[in-house]
Chains A and B, each alone.
Chain A
């Protein structure tokens, strides 16, 4: 086990309004040498979870309870100094729309090289060499390495952002929607790149996305989040063929898929709950097609099922 999230709760403060509870006692374990998919729709907390691991939350984010254990230490209790050593060198992240996170007035290769020398104290030439190699590895032609960000297309900038994340050979790579806003062809190449990197280094990848099909193809295990909670966690095969939580099931059923034919998509009524309020019972209950009486009053735990699946649904409660 490489990374363990224990009962993590997170709030975002809002001036003049009630705080929003973005994460509610999330429990998650990620092994080494695996790609874990983190799936959910907007507002479910998946990005918040990613930011919490790296401790790059916005100023109004407050972790109210929980621990994040990495290499036998709780990341949340580390000093800023120690965390800086871990951040990027051991755990790195590709942010959403990273293509926009480069400084426009510096060359791409210089920006990567700067990160290298800051962390490892390398001299300019060595850092430049490593940076160039990293960029070429993600498919940027060697003669374009010295370009400025605006001279790259969106896809190439995203690759550069991935190269930046992989630069220090981290143990854990968190990819937060790395292919949103990219064309399907470019997306495919980037996914291939991440996959082969993970295979070569036997590292851990946490792949955050709202696109279930991408996650299903790439990941070994899938964690599904809804309204700040983990609602399902299992091997990909199991999640896709036998989803144990009604939300996962709905998510799979509402995706149009070319190869499936034109059967009508099933839609979910309603909208996700307002996370500034507190609720009794299951958070998915108002929209759940399988909800029954107790669902509105009893909060389900994460129940473990025979083949290692975890699911937060009262329907699965009485499994042996």
Chain B
């Protein structure tokens, strides 16, 4: 009997996967976003295979305009821009994903606790969120760099630790609205412990807006890193698009390609994540009932 169920289970999972994909695609631009993100992901994972030249090699002519040999030109000390762009995706991707991931990791449980337990705990936590929000991440970063020097890991940490309150508040609001939903009360009625209600019923449903927001925060974090690099505050050992823009800004007129391509890469990557995020948000609509429920082939007598 249970084997038969296994068949149905796979069938349902497949059907749901297909439906999720359909929902994702229903936002027209989401696929574009996904393609963009995947391209950059590939670049970040195997840059050595994609880059035509070593990114730090200065063996080429200085300030060469884009050509077939050097599609994005070369920079002020003769490095190939195309390869540098490819290698630069590593920093941006990791920064974005790790910082946003950290933000979600911190914000979700805190928001959950604040929202579910309420009372004085909620008060204290909410004030805590507000205090963190007040911290200007930017100046904090400057301070950290001044004290500890340029360190990418620290930067990721700082960003993650300063942007999480947004997620916490969203989570808290989400939990507050879910607390009174009937299915939560039904779970309480079955005698479930609070922890079970919170983890199995509230969390999976409350986290959806947090995921959407985290998606946006990826773009936010990438921009952050680029901004820091642009101001010369990033680790000079890594290849960062922001750094490239920093160097290129002085040559906007005579060597436009120095700033243009890294800027374009940044725009595209952030755009890609945001568009994908729209698609992911549409996928959450899976749980909204459809007009007919199920198809007529399954009309039971």
Chains A and B in contact, CB within 8 Å: yes
Query: Which residues of A are interface residues toward B (Cβ below 8 A)?
Result: 15-17, 20, 43, 269-277, 279, 286-287
| A274 cross-chain contacts in B, Cβ below 8 A | 292, 294-296
B300 and A270 contacting across the interface, CB-CB below 8 Å: yes
| A269 cross-chain contacts in B, Cβ below 8 A | 300-301
Given contacts A269-B300, A269-B301, A270-B300, A16 and B295 within 8 Å (CB-CB): no
A43 and B292 contacting across the interface, CB-CB below 8 Å: yes
A16 and B25 contacting across the interface, CB-CB below 8 Å: yes
B292 and A272 contacting across the interface, CB-CB below 8 Å: yes
| B299 cross-chain contacts in A, Cβ below 8 A | 270-271, 273, 286-287
Contact-residue size bin, chain B (C-beta under 8 Å from the other chain): 10 to 19
A270 and B291 contacting across the interface, CB-CB below 8 Å: no
Output the least CB separation between A290 and chain B (Å). Answer: 15
Given contacts A43-B292, A271-B292, A274-B292, A16 and B300 within 8 Å (CB-CB): no
| B294 cross-chain contacts in A, Cβ below 8 A | 271, 274
* Interface of chain B residues 47 through 85 with chain A (CB within 8 A): none
Q: How far apart are the CA atoms of A3 and B234 in the complex, in Å? A: 75
Query: Which residues of B are interface residues toward A (Cβ below 8 A)?
Result: 22-23, 25-26, 291-296, 299-301
Output the least CB separation between B101 and chain A (Å). Answer: 30
Q: How far apart are the CA atoms of A15 and B25 in the complex, in Å? A: 9
User: 17 A-B pairs, CB-CB below 8 angstroms?
Assistant: A16-B22, A16-B25, A17-B22, A270-B299, A270-B301, A271-B293, A271-B299, A273-B296, A274-B292, A274-B295, A274-B296, A275-B292, A276-B292, A277-B296, A279-B296, A286-B296, A286-B301
Output the least CB separation between A13 and chain B (Å). Answer: 12
Q: How far apart are the CA atoms of A272 and B291 in the complex, in Å? A: 11
| A20 cross-chain contacts in B, Cβ below 8 A | 291
Output the least CB separation between B220 and chain A (Å). Answer: 29
New A-B contacts (4) at CB < 8 Å, excluding given A43-B292, A275-B291: A269-B301, A270-B301, A272-B292, A286-B301
Q: In this complex, what residue of A is CB-closest to B26?
A: A16
Q: How far apart are the CA atoms of A286 and B294 in the complex, in Å? A: 15
Output the least CB separation between B18 and chain A (Å). Answer: 12
| A271 cross-chain contacts in B, Cβ below 8 A | 292-294, 296, 299
| B301 cross-chain contacts in A, Cβ below 8 A | 269-270, 286
Q: How far apart are the CA atoms of A286 and B301 in the complex, in Å? A: 8
Q: How far apart are the CA atoms of A287 and B295 in the complex, in Å? A: 15
A277 and B295 contacting across the interface, CB-CB below 8 Å: yes
Of the candidates B26, B296, B300, the one whose C-beta lies within 8 Å of that of A15 is B26
Q: How far apart are the CA atoms of A20 and B295 in the complex, in Å? A: 12
Q: How far apart are the CA atoms of A89 and B292 in the complex, in Å? A: 36
Output the least CB separation between B27 and chain A (Å). Answer: 9
> Top 10 nearest A-B pairs by Cβ distance?
A274-B296, A16-B26, A270-B299, A274-B292, A273-B296, A15-B26, A269-B301, A274-B295, A286-B299, A16-B22
